Amino acid sequence: MGSSAESGTTQPFSGRLRQDADALWRAQHQHPFVQGIADGSLPIERFRHFIKQDYLYLIDYARVFSLAAAWAPTVPWAERLAELAHETLHTELALHRGLAEEWGIPAAELAAVRPTPTTRSYTDFLLRTASLGDFAEIVAALLPCMWGYSELGLNLAAGPRPAVEPYARWIDLYASPELADLAAWCRSVVDEVAAGLDRPRRDRMREAFLACSRLELAFWEASWRLEAAEG
């Protein structure tokens, strides 16, 4: 699993992580929620549910970027992670507010949204991992979201464009070259960090990556089921 028979080159650690999580990632791509975005058939209430929960998720995702910046072993990595926290809070959340408004979710309603148990499980896992202070595990936990959405967006963009324009623009957002570049950068950090670690610490990175891959799949399922928010 650590090498390619065709090229004779060693497979990057991030590539092995992706291989280990392949069944989970394929399940995401094949999920009825994702396929409903692809063909425009996804019921509006399910997409509204997703947008509201994703908005909450991104707030904590930005916090994890900030914590990762604090633990980063190099200044360039700290700078980039701090920039990502700022961009998430000031750019991506603004895009979500605009998308929510298009779907009839006013700002006041978005601000009052409560997390579902699935959203809470995902953000709690990320924040707990980030708070423990192991930079290697933090970047491994951050990777499935940015890489997964980039891969999914590019795959959906390669197919027919859905007639529902907000769905089409959502695909455009996650198929962007900027997100692909960001995912490539995070993979390079994961690979560089893993190269200097022993087997037990690489195993913890793998566990974090797989846990977040499972939570990504659960996030789609929660909006498909219209999971109720916490009381």
Angle made by CA atoms 94, 100, 104, in degrees to the nearest 5: 145
Helix (H/G/I), strand (E/B), else coil: 167: helix
Task: Spot the catalytic one: 151, 186, 212, 216.
Answer: 216
Phi, psi of 77 (to 5 degrees): -65, -40
Region of 138 (left: φ > 0; alpha: ψ -120 to 50; beta: rest) is alpha
Estimate to the nearest angstrom the gap between the alpha carbon of 90 and the chain centroid. Answer: 17
* 82 class by beta-carbon count within 10 Å (0-12 exposed, 13-18 middle, 19+ buried): middle
Q: Name the one residue in this structure whose structure tokens are 């920039």.
A: 83
Helix (H/G/I), strand (E/B), else coil: 90: helix
DSSP character at residue 31: S
Instruction: List Cα–Cα distances, 124 to 71, 88, 118, 120, 187, in angstroms.
Output: 18, 18, 10, 6, 23
Phi, psi of 8 (to 5 degrees): 75, 10
Active site residue 212: no
Task: Spot the catalytic one: 145, 151, 186, 212.
Answer: 145
Active site residue 186: no
CA dist 189 and 140 (Å) reads 9
Catalytic residues: 145, 216
